[in-house]
Structure 1
Amino acid sequence: MSLVQMQLRPAHADAHADLVPRTVDDAMEAAGPQVCDDMTVEVALAVMAGSRADHLLICDEDGLCTGLITREQFRAIRDSAAYTDRLRLRDVLGDRGPFASPMTTMAEAEHAMRYRRLDALPVVAEQGSALGVLVLAR
């Protein structure tokens, strides 16, 4: 038998919880491995394998988050005819983003992720540094 610890909350706390929507800050995971956008795809793959992560956050030389790359995206890059072992992450990222703010509501973030078919979304501070990652449950 296992013990379950419960805490009683005042009745008004439940009513208040329904009025305040959950934000990305409540659900995001730690940022995890971050790599610089001037790194080659090969080296980034090695970092991903070594960290056993499903994604890497990519930052520029100033430490600002420029995007996120997943194992599936790496596979597509390596399978393309344009792939070489000198290909850099910044060459395959394209546009910056998308990103979420820690204050974005979970409903907004989930909608955006499903619309864009994203499994993970970087969460960035106002100045652009990575704070964490929001990952959709499967």
Structure 2
Amino acid sequence: MTLVQMHRPASANLTHRTVSEVMDAAGPQVCDDMSVEVALSVMTAARTGRLVVCDQDGQCAGLVTQTELTAVRDSSAYTDRVRLRDILRDHGSFTSPVTTASEAEQAMRFLRLGAVPVVDEQGSALGVLALSR
């Protein structure tokens, strides 16, 4: 039960570490009006498997993964008019940088989330917290 982004000795205790100490950089951030095809292209260019999605005000709206986008693109209902805002799941699943890493990990496992955005008080994405498989 370790977090992917943790660059720490295996013996380090998560109980007292905060999310800000173990999160990964936010990486590419895209607007929620981006099409699925363009988002997949951004992921390929950035060599990443997920994107932080922001709304028109720059506030974090959630995460999308390459697996999710590929499934949408390959579905029979897909059109080139589908935007990221149309497919965002777990809109309210975020964590704070001051939450303990163990609390965040427990919540993510309970909600069955592989990764969540880390946001500040204004809703801006600071990073991403991801569980190992």
Deviation of 1:80 after TM superposition, in Å, equals 2.2
CA distance in 2, matches of 1:50, 1:67: 20
Flag the structure with higher helix content. Answer: 1
Deviation of 1:124 after TM superposition, in Å, equals 0.2
In structure 2, do the counterparts of structure 1 residues 118 and 95 end up closer, same or farther at CA, with 3 Å as the change threshold?
A: closer
CA distance in 2, matches of 1:68, 1:43: 15
Alignment of 1:133 with 2:128, yes or no, is yes
Give TM-score scaled by structure 1 length.
0.81
Instruction: Map 1:1-138 onto structure 2 (within 5 A).
Output: 21-94=16-89, 96-138=91-133
Matched letter for residue 80 of structure 2: D
CA distance in 1, matches of 2:16, 2:89: 33
| Residues 19-59 of structure 1, C-alpha deviations (whole Å, 9 max, x = no match) | x7111011001110000000111111100111011100000
- Structure 2 runs not aligned, ≥5 long: 1-11
Q: Is the 8 A contact 2:37 2:73 kept in 1?
A: no
For the aligned residue pairs, the C-alpha RMSD in angstroms reads: 1.7
Matched letter for residue 58 of structure 2: G
- Structure 1 runs not aligned, ≥5 long: 1-16
Q: Find the residue that maps to 1:118 and give its secondary structure.
A: coil
> Which structure would you say has the larger RCO, counting Cα contacts within 8 Å and 6 or more residues apart?
2
The alignment of Structure 1 onto Structure 2 pairs a total of residues equal to 121
Identity %, equivalent residues? 63
Deviating beyond 6 angstroms after TM superposition, the runs of 4 or more aligned structure 1 residues are: none
